[in-house]
Amino acid sequence: MFLPFIILVVLGFLMLVVFVPYGGIIMASVTFAVVILQYLKTHRMHQELQEIRKHLGVMKPEEEEEYDIKRQINEVDHLGAAAIEEVNQKIEEELANTADLNKKD
């Protein structure tokens, strides 16, 4: 299905390398971009499969714990400035409560 398209792209790259002085650089940059896009697509598919496994309950306990940690880290990475400030306040309150409990003992 995509074979004729792939052959045309490869021939186009070869023509670019031969006839354009900077063809090698252009070809390398396009190849790099394709590899990065493929990696991102594969990574996204892996994440979705992990979510499905979690939903179906077929994860081992240690896998489930690791998945939950990664999901929480991902959520924190995508928070806005106000949400981060709110999380920091909650953490500071918990640390203060823990310090107070330790002082009482």
End-to-end CA distance of the chain: 72
d(CA 51, CA 72): 13
The 3-state DSSP class for residue 38 equals helix
What pTM was estimated for this model as a whole?
Answer: 0.55
Q: Give 26-76 pLDDT, tens digit per residue.
A: 778 888 888 999 999 999 999 899 999 988 989 888 988 998 998 888 888
